[in-house]
Amino acid sequence: MTGGLGTIVRAGVGRRRVQTLVMGLTTTLAVTAAVLAAGLIVASEGPFDHAFNRMRGAHLSARFDSSQITPAQVSATARARQVTTAAGPYPLVSVKPTPVDTDGGLPPGIQLADLTVVGRQPGGPVDDLTLTKGRWATKPGEIVMSAHNEPFVLGNTMRFPGVPGDRLFKVVGIARSAGETADAWVPRTTIPSLTAPGSRADYQMLYRFETASTHAQMDADRTAIAALAPGRSLVGVQPWLKVRLAATRVSATFAPFIVAFGILGLIMSILVIGIVVGGAVAAGTRRIGILKSLGFTPGQVVRAHLGQALIPGGAGTLLGLVFGNLVAIPVLGDTAEVYGVGRAGIAPWVDVLVAAVALLTIAAGAWVPARRAGNLRTVEAITMGRTPSRDRGRVARRMLGRLPLPRPLTLGLATPFARPGRSATMAVAVAVGTIGATFGIGLALSLNGVQSGINLRSPGDVVVGDPTSAVNTEKVDAAITRQPGTGQWFNSAEANLGVAGLAGSTTVISYQGDSSWASWQMIRGRWFHGTGEVVTASGFLRATGTRIGDSIALVNGSRSSTVKIVGEALDVRQEGMLIVLDRTSIAPLQPRIDPLSYRFNVRLKPGVDRDDYIEAANRDLEPLGVSATRNSNKLSDTVVSMDALAGALTVLLLSVAGLGVLNTAVLDTRERVRDLGVLKALGMSPRQTTAMVITSVAGVGLIAGVIGVPIGVAVHGVVLPIMGHAAGTDIPAVDAAVYDLPLVIPLLLGGLVIATAGALLPAGWAARTRTAIALRTE
Amino acid sequence: MEKTTGSEAGPLISISHLTKRYEAGDPALSDLTLEIRRGEAPAVLGPSGSGKSTLLNMIAGLDRPDEGTVTVDGVRVDRLGEAGSAKYRRATIGMVFQFFNLLDDLTVQDNVLLPAQLAGMPRAKARERALELLADLGIEQYRGTFPGRLSGGERQRVALARALMNRPPLILADEPTGALDRASAGSVVRLIRELNERGQTILLVTHDTGLAASCATRTIELVDGRLVRDGAAVTQ
Ligand SMILES: Nc1ncnc2c1ncn2[C@@H]1O[C@H](COP(=O)(O)OP(=O)(O)O)[C@@H](O)[C@H]1O
Ligand SMILES: [Mg+2]
C-alpha cells in the first residue's frame, strides 16, 4: 500500500468513529453467532459417530474364556478378513464390589452387581480411553471407573470380597470408553489381586471392522471372529450398535432445532456483515470522487476501502472468534453432556472456516460498492455524494407521501425506498431475527407443554410409593381410604405381557381404583373407561402398525385376552412401547405385577392441607413399607437444557439483528444529515425528527415481522414433529398449537421493536445535531 | 414563546451586543448591535469568512450566541430550546441558501409544501397556497418534477417558494445567487426586489456588492465579525 493510501485508510477509520465501532461490534457479534451456530451444527452432526471414530472406538468387544484359548490364539482372531485393527488381549475379570466410603452415596457393606474390570492402559490402536476426571491408575489399590457407570465417583473407596488380599480400592479417575467396553480399568499388574482363588482372568479383545454399521454386518463380523477361535471360547460380545442407539436417541431430539437455529444464525451473520460493510463503503462515495480527482486510480480507491472495512471487520472477526469459543464452552458442554460424547469444543476448522467466510463477506461487501464508486466518473461520484441519485422507488415514495399522515411520518416511511437494496437486506435480517424468536419461543412453549403433558401421568396432590419391599396393596388401599382428607385415588403398577404377533414382552401399566381423572395427555382418541379398553403410546402403534379402534390380544403363557385400543397417549419411555389399562382388563391373565412398581396417586378433598394429610397418612403407611410425599412434577433436564439453549440462541439472533438495524439507521442518518438540517431549518422539531427516523425503520420492521412470524411458525411446525419422532412420539396437538393471538401479536410487532430499538440511538443523535453544523456538511 | 415588547410597532429584528466564538481565536461575530425594521431589505456584505452566515444562523435560531441577545418579531431567539426554535422558524423565518438545499427525493411541489406540512396546515389550504406560489414564481410547470432535473435558477425559485410558504415575516437569504449564472442571478434578484416592494422583509447575505446594490435598501458591512458600516444602499 502506498503511503498516501495508508493515510487515507487510517483517516477513514479514525474519522468515522461511530461507524467503525458499530461495524466492529456487529462483526464481533455476528462472528460469535456464526461460530456458535456452525459449532452446534457440527456437534449435532453424528456426534456419537465422531466421538467414536476420534477415540477409535471398538465396534466389537469380545470376551474369551481363558480356559479354552491361549493369548496367542486370541491375537490370531485379528486376522479375520473384516478386521481393520484390533487390540488386546487384555485380562478381564468380573467382580462384585462392596462400597466402603462413597460420601454417603451408597450404604457401606452392600453387595453390588458385577463390574467388568479390564487390565489395560489408555491409548492403543482401538478404544482409546479419555480421562474425564482424575488420573490414570498406576498402583495396586487404584481403579478408574467408566463414566457411564453411575454409582462410584472420584475419591470413593470399595472392596472386592473374596479376592486375594481383600485390598481397599480407591477411584482415582473417571474415564470414557466410546464403546463402553468395561465398567472399570486397573493396571494389568493389578488383575491377579482381583482374581478369586481358583478362577482365572478371561481375555478381552477389541476390534474395528471394515463395515459395522448394520446388525447384519455386525453378525457377519462376529461370526468371522468366532470361526477363528477354538470351540466355544468366545463367551461374550458387545457390539457398538447397542451403545450407539442409547447415545444417539437424545441427540437426535436435539439436532433438529439446533440445526434450525444454526442455519438462521449463519444467514443472519452473513447478511448483517454484508449490509454493514456495503453501507459503510457506499456512504463514502463522495469521498471516493474527491480521491479520484486527486489522482487516485480506481484500483487504489477500491483497496483503500477494502482496508477501511477490513480493519474494524478483522478486529471484530478476531473478537468474535474469541467470544464464540468462550460461549461455546458452556453451550456445547450442555449439548455434549446430552450427546454423551464427553467434552466437545469448537473444532478448529470451524474457527478457520467462519473467519474465512466472515473476512470474505467483509471484503465482498466492501469490494462491490467500492468498485462501483471507483468506476464512476469523478464528477458523478462527487455530485452523487452530495445529491445521491434517488431515482429508485420514487413511485412508492410519492404514494406514501399522499397518505393522510403527518409529514414527518410519511417522510420516514419513504426513506427505505431510497436505498431499496439495503432496506431489503435489513428487512431480511430482521425477519430472520423474528423467525428465530418465533421459533424459539414457540419451541420452549411446546416443550414445556409436552413436559406438563408427560407430568399428567402422575396426577393428584399426594403420591404414595417408593416401596422398599413387596407391598400389601390391600392394606395400603385401606390406609388411604381411612384418611378423612382422601378425595379420589387410584394405584398403578407395571407388568410385562406378550402381545399377539409381537416378539418379546411389552410393558403394561394397569390402574386400579378411580382412574377416570388419571388421563395422560392424549394425542388421539380418549382415555380408557373400564374393562376391555386400552390406551397406548405412539411407539406401540408405530411398532405394531395398529390404529385406534383396532383390537389386540394380550398374552400371558397360555391365557390371552382381547382389548380394544381407544386412544394414543404421550409418553417417551421405552420407545413408547407401553400399554395402559384398567387392571380388570388383565385380571384373567393372572399377570405377575412388579411388586416394587406400585404407586398410589391421591387427590385431596377441597380445603385439606396437604402437609397435614401427608403427616397423618405416613403414620399409617410407613409400617407398610411405603411413604406419602407431595406430588411434585419437575422439568426434565433435557427440557431445561433445550429451553436454555433455545433462549440463548434467540437472544443472540435478536442482538445481531438489532445491531444490523442500528448500523443501517446510523448510516442512513449520516447520509441524510444535510436533509435533516434542511428540514430543521424549515421548522422540523426534535420530536418530529425522532418520529421520522423511527418510522424510517418501522416499516421495514413491520414487514419483517409479517414475513418472519409465519416462517417461524412453519419452522416450528416442521422441527417439532421431527424432534418428537426422534424421541419416539407424536406431539399432541395442544402442545404444537402454541401460536395463539396473545403470542402472535407481540411476535408480529417484534420486528418493529427490533427495528425501533436499533434506530433509537441515531434518532436521538439526529434530533440533537446542531442544524448549522448539519447544513455546513454541504 | 415569549414576547417581550408590543411587537408590531418596534423593529422586526433587534440584535444587541451579539458575540459568537467557535473555538479559540478571533470570534466569528463580536459585539454586534443592529436593528432591522419591517419592510426593509438590508444586505449584509463582507468578504468570505467575515461572519455573515454566522449572523444569519443566529437570527434563524440555528445556533446560539455566546453573548448578547437576538430578538425577532418579539421573540428572544437566543433563549429558545430546540423545540421552541423549530416552532419559531416555522412561523417566522423562510430560508434561502446558496446551494438551494432542496430535498432531492421530493418533487418541486412536495418541497414547497414541506414547511406547511411541518406546521400542520390543512392539506387543501397548503396545496392551494403552493400552487399559487409556484404560479407566482413562474415554475408551476415543474410541479411534479424532481429538483435534480432543474437548472440552478429554477431551483432557487423553488427554494424561494418554499421559504414563502408559511408567509413568514422574515426571509433570510444566504448568497442566493452565489451558485447561479448571470442570467439566472438577475431573475432571482428581480424576484427579491418585487417581493420587497410588496412589503416582505428580506435579509440578504452576499459578498457581491453588485447584488447588494441592485436590490438592497440598506447595506450592513462586516469585516472579521465586526460591523464596519451600516448605511443607505450603495449605488454603483
Ligand atoms: N460550525 C463552525 N465551527 C467552527 N468554525 C466556524 C463554524 N461556522 C463558521 N465558522 C468560522 O466562523 C467564521 C465565520 O464564518 P461564516 O459565518 O461562515 O462566514 P461567511 O458566511 O461570512 O463566509 C469563519 O472563520 C469560519 O471558519
Ligand atoms: Mg457564508
> How far is it, in rounded angstroms, from Cα A195 to Cα A171?
19
Cβ–Cβ below 8 Å for B60 and A681: yes
Of B86, B107, B110, the CB nearest to A680: B86
Q: How many other CB atoms are there within 10 angstroms of residue A623's CB atom?
A: 10
**Residue A551 forms beta bridges with which residues?**
A564
CA separation for the pair B126, B117 (Å, rounded): 8
pLDDT of residue A536: 93
Q: Which of B19, B20, B21, B22 to mutate to test the pocket of ligand 1 (most atoms within 8 A of CB)?
A: B22
Q: Where are the domains of chain A?
A: 66-232, 387-457+634-778, 462-630
CB atoms within 10 A of CB A189: 12
Task: Write down the pLDDT at residue A10.
Answer: 62
Note the pLDDT tens digit of each residue in B67-79. Answer: 999 999 999 999 8
Q: Could B86 and A394 be called an inter-chain contact, meaning their C-beta atoms sit closer than 8 Å? A: no
CB-nearest partner of A401 from B63, B110, B166: B110
Residue B97 has pLDDT above 60, yes or no: yes
- Between A298-339 and A348-375, two packed helices, what is the crossing angle to 10 degrees? 160
**Mutation test of the interface with chain B: which of A423, A682, A765, A769, choosing the one with the most B Cβ atoms within 10 A?**
A682
The angle at the Cα of B42, spanning B38 to B45, to the nearest 5 degrees, equals 155
Partners of residue B122 in chain A, C-beta under 8 Å: none
Q: Is A398 in the pocket of ligand 1 (CB under 6 A)?
A: no
Any atom of ligand 1 within 6 Å of the Cβ of A770: no
Residue A287 — left, alpha, or beta (φ > 0 → left; ψ -120 to 50 → alpha)? alpha
Measure the CA–CA gap between A699 and A415, rounded to whole angstroms: 10
Cα dist. A631→A599, A604, A625 in Å? 11, 12, 18
User: Which sequence spans correspond to the domains of chain B?
Assistant: 38-63+80-232
Which ligand is in closest contact with the Cα of B44? Answer: 1
* Gap between the Cα atoms of A99 and A121, Å rounded: 24
Q: How far is CA B222 from the centre of its chain?
A: 17
- Residue B49 Cβ < 6 Å to ligand 1: yes
Measured CA to CA, the distance from residue A117 to residue A229 in angstroms comes to 22
Say if the Cβ atoms of B82 and A686 lie within 8 Å.
Answer: yes
pLDDT level of residue B38 (50, 70, 90 thresholds): very high
Q: What's residue A14's pLDDT?
A: 59
Burial of A561 (0-12, 13-18, 19+ CB in 10 A): middle
- Residue A397 with chain B: CB contacts under 8 Å: 105
> Which one has a higher pLDDT value, B135 or A335?
B135
Residue ranges of chain A with pLDDT lower than 50?
Answer: 1-3, 338-339, 342-343, 383-390, 777-778
- List CB contacts (< 8 A) between B108 and chain A: none
d(CA A459, CA A473): 19
Interval between CA B48 and ligand 1 midpoint (Å): 9
Q: What is residue A77's three-state secondary structure?
A: helix
Proximal ligand: closest to the CA of A775? 1
Question: Ligand 1 in contact with B46 (CB < 6 A)?
Answer: yes
C-beta separation of A80 from A228 below 8 A: yes
Q: What are phi and psi of A558, to 5 degrees?
A: -90, -10
> What fold is seen in the domain A462-630?
Barwin-like endoglucanases (2.40.40)
Q: Are strands B75-76 and B67-72 parallel, antiparallel or unpaired?
A: antiparallel
Tell how far the Cα of B186 is from the centroid of ligand 2, in angstroms.
20
Q: Which residues of chain B does A382 touch, with a Cβ-Cβ cutoff of 8 Å? A: none
| Size of the A and B interface in Cβ pairs below 8 Å | 88
Ligand 1: atom nearest CA of A772 is 1
* B83-101 as b/e: b if 16+ CB within 10 A: ebbbbbbbbbbbbbbbbbb
Cell of B120: 400542520
Atom 26 (ligand 1): residue with closest C-alpha?
A: B49
Helix (H) or strand (E) holding A580: strand A578-582
Pairing label, strands B42-45, B218-223: parallel
**Is B114 within 8 Å of B89 (Cβ atoms)?**
no
Quick one: pLDDT at residue A293?
Answer: 62
Q: Which residues pair with A497 in a beta bridge?
A: A506
Nearest Cα of chain B lies from the Cα of A688 at a distance, in angstroms, of: 8
The grid cell for A404 is 393522510
Sign of CA dihedral A332, A642, A321, A268: positive
Q: For A238, phi and psi rounded to 5 degrees?
A: -125, 110
Dihedral Cα A573, A578, A580, A584, nearest 10 deg: -130
Helix or strand (DSSP H, E) at A673: helix A673-681
For chain B, list residues whose CB is within 8 angstroms of any CB belonging to chain A: 57, 60, 62-63, 82-83, 86-91, 93, 95, 97, 99, 101-107, 110, 113-115, 117-120, 123, 146, 148, 162, 166
Chain B contact present for A15, CB below 8 A: no
User: Could you tell me which of A331, A172, A364 has the C-alpha nearest to residue A265?
Assistant: A331
Q: DSSP secondary structure string, chain B?
A: --B-S-TTTS-SEEEEEEEE--SSSS-SEEEEEEEE-TT--EEEE--TTSSHHHHHHHHHTSS--SEEEEEETTEEGGG--HHHHHHHHHHHEEEE-TT----TTS-HHHHHHHHHHHHT--HHHHHHHHHHHHHHTT-GGGTTS-GGGS-HHHHHHHHHHHHHTT--SEEEEESTTTTS-HHHHHHHHHHHHHHHHTT-EEEEE-S-HHHHHHH-SEEEEEETTEEEEEEEPP--
**What DSSP state is assigned to residue A593?**
B
CA angle centred on A631, ends A629 and A637, rounded to 5°: 115
**Helix (H/G/I), strand (E/B), else coil: A334:** helix
pLDDT at res. A15: 59
Predicted confidence at residue A252, as pLDDT, reads: 66
Cα–Cα dist B11/A771, whole Å: 26
User: Within a 13 Å sphere around the CA of A417, how many CA atoms are in the beta-carbon half?
Assistant: 18
Q: CA torsion A262→A265→A267→A270, rounded to 10°?
A: -130
Report the chain B residue with the minimal C-alpha distance to residue A768: B82
B50 C-beta closer than 6 A to ligand 1: yes
Q: Is ipTM beyond 0.85? A: no
CB–CB of A713/A434 below 8 Å? no
Return the C-alpha cell found at A168. 481397599
| Ion ligand 2 contact residues with beta carbon within 5 A | B 53
Decide: B133 in ligand 1 pocket, CB within 6 A: no
Select from B19, B23, B26, B53 the residue to mutate for testing ligand 1; criterion: most ligand atoms less than 8 Å from CB.
Answer: B53
Q: So what's the pLDDT on residue A388?
A: 44
Residue A72 to residue A63: CA distance in whole angstroms: 14
Residues A64-74 have pLDDT tens digits of 888 888 888 88
Nearest alpha-carbon partner for A734 in A448, A460, A392: A448
Measuring CA to CA, how many Å separate A99 from each of A95, A132, A174, B53, B217?
13, 22, 17, 93, 111
Smallest CA-to-CA distance from A454 within A522, A374, A369 is with A522
Contacts of A387 in chain B (CB under 8 A): 104, 148
pLDDT of residue A650: 83
Whether ligand 1 lies within 6 angstroms of the CB of B153 is answered as no
CATH code reported for the domain at B38-63+80-232: 3.40.50.300
Q: Name the CA dihedral angle for A606, A608, A614, A616, rounded to a multiple of 10 degrees.
A: -130
pTM: 0.68
- Report the C-alpha gap between A714 and B167 in whole angstroms: 57
Cβ within 8 Å, pair A408-B118: yes
Cβ-based burial of B180 (10 A; exposed 0-12, middle 13-18, buried ≥19): buried
Instruction: Please tell me whether residue A564 adopts helix, strand or coil conformation.
Output: strand
Side-chain half-sphere of A606: how many Cα atoms within 13 Å? 0
Q: Which residues of B touch A398 (CB under 8 A)?
A: 107, 110
B101 → closest Cβ in A389, A406, A678: A678
Per-residue confidence (pLDDT) for residue B16, from 0 to 100: 93
Residue A259 burial by CB count (10 A; 0-12/13-18/19+): exposed, middle or buried?
middle
Q: Residue B2 — very low, low, confident or very high, per pLDDT cuts 50/70/90?
A: very low
Contact A320, A32 (CB under 8 A): yes
Residue A106: what pLDDT?
66
CA distance B236 to chain A (A): 32
Measured CA distances, A663 to A431, A696, A702 (Å): 16, 13, 18
In A363-422, the residues whose Cβ lies within 8 Å of chain B are 387-390, 394, 397-398, 401, 404, 406-408, 414, 418
Which of B18, B54, B174, B208 to mutate for ligand 1's pocket (most ligand atoms within 8 Å of CB)? B54
Q: Name residue, grid cell 484359548.
A: A69
Scan residues 42-101 of A and list those with Cβ closer than 8 Å to B. Answer: none
Task: Kindly give the pairing relationship between strand A559-569 and strand A533-537.
Answer: parallel
Of all protein residues, the one whose alpha carbon is nearest to atom 6 of ligand 1 is B22
- B57 CB less than 6 Å from ligand 1? no
Report the alpha-carbon distance of residue A434 to residue A731 in Å, rounded: 24
In degrees, rounded to 5, the angle at the alpha carbon of residue A159 between the alpha carbons of residues A156 and A165 is: 135
The three cell numbers locating residue B170: 422574515
User: How far is Cα A181 from Cα A421, in angstroms, rounded to an integer?
Assistant: 58
pLDDT band at B201 (very low <50, low <70, confident <90, very high): very high
CB contact under 8 A, A775 and B97: yes
A610: three-class secondary structure by DSSP: helix
> What grid cell was written down for A695?
418510522
Residues of A in contact with B148 (CB under 8 A): 387, 389-390
The pLDDT value recorded for residue A260 is 78
**Residue whose CA is at the smallest distance from ligand 1 atom 2:** B22
